[in-house]
């Protein structure tokens, strides 16, 4: 496990956390952060993928605002800081930085040239954009928000995408969920999974919305997606 640096398309230097399996090799998964930065939970997700045989890279997408952010959502002041950072975040530049991470990952030592991406919350929305605009081989987004206004980009999706939607997500109301499902149902590359009775953040263990059965099911579906498309 190590902190690395990735060169961005505009010449910047973006930090990232990398977790490597014991074998030292495998396909690469780019882990896209929540609004709390590349914090211990995001690093634990990367570690989990490494245990499952993937090289995992979590880029610091807030590096242009404040490098090295690692916030604890259980601390009120840090929770508020996270929303402040999100308000300053340039979404399009973030997608470009994800592409930089994917391009870096294709050449990673021990990699096989295949790269997927998985994101949560803000990262779930970025995952949708990643599937639409980057060359990720397979992508998964957990509880994406505010993508219902960008569904015209879905015509650009060429590689598999899985979206995990929390039916009780206060940030993605039922009408938005229905728009997403209706717009994406005709694309055979896209699977939209709904999880009844759970709220936003259901896959983050330790959060108030954590739901282990739903998280386990979503994680299993994501793992299957990656095994099928990144091997």
Active-site residues, by number, are 121, 169, 200
The neighbour count for residue 2, using CB atoms within 10 Å, is: 8
Q: Could you tell me where the DSSP H helices lie in the chain? A: 40-51, 76-88, 91-106, 122-133, 174-184, 212-230
Distance, in Å, from the CA atom of 145 to the CA atom of 221, rounded to the nearest integer, reads 20
Q: How many CB atoms lie within 10 A of CB 149?
A: 8
Q: Give the 3-state DSSP-derived string for 65-116, with helices as H, strands as E and coil as C.
A: CCCCCECCCCCHHHHHHHHHHHHHCCHHHHHHHHHHHHHHHHCCCCCCCCEE
Paired tokens of 194: 């709904």
């Amino acid at each position: 496990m190590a902190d690395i640096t990735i060169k961005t398309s505009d010449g910047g230097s973006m930090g990232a956390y990398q977790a490597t399996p014991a074998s030292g090799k495998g396909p690469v998964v780019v882990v896209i952060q929540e609004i709390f930065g590349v914090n211990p939970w995001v690093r634990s997700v990367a570690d989990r993928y490494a245990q499952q045989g993937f090289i995992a890279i979590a880029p610091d997408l807030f590096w242009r605002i404040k490098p090295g952010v690692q916030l604890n959502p259980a601390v009120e002041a840090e929770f508020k800081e996270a929303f402040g950072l999100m308000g300053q975040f340039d979404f399009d530049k973030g997608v470009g930085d994800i592409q930089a991470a994917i391009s870096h990952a294709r050449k990673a030592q021990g990699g096989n040239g295949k790269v997927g991406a998985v994101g949560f919350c803000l990262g779930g929305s970025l995952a949708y954009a990643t599937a639409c605009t980057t060359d990720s081989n397979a992508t998964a987004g957990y509880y994406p928000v505010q993508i219902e206004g960008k569904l015209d980009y879905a015509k650009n999706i060429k590689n598999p995408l899985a979206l995990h939607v929390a039916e009780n997500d206060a940030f993605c109301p039922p009408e938005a969920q229905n728009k997403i499902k209706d717009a994406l149902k005709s694309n055979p590359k896209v699977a939209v999974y709904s999880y009844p009775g759970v709220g936003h953040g259901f896959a983050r263990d330790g959060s108030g919305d954590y739901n282990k059965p739903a998280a386990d099911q979503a994680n299993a579906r994501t793992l299957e997606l990656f095994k099928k498309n990144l091997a």
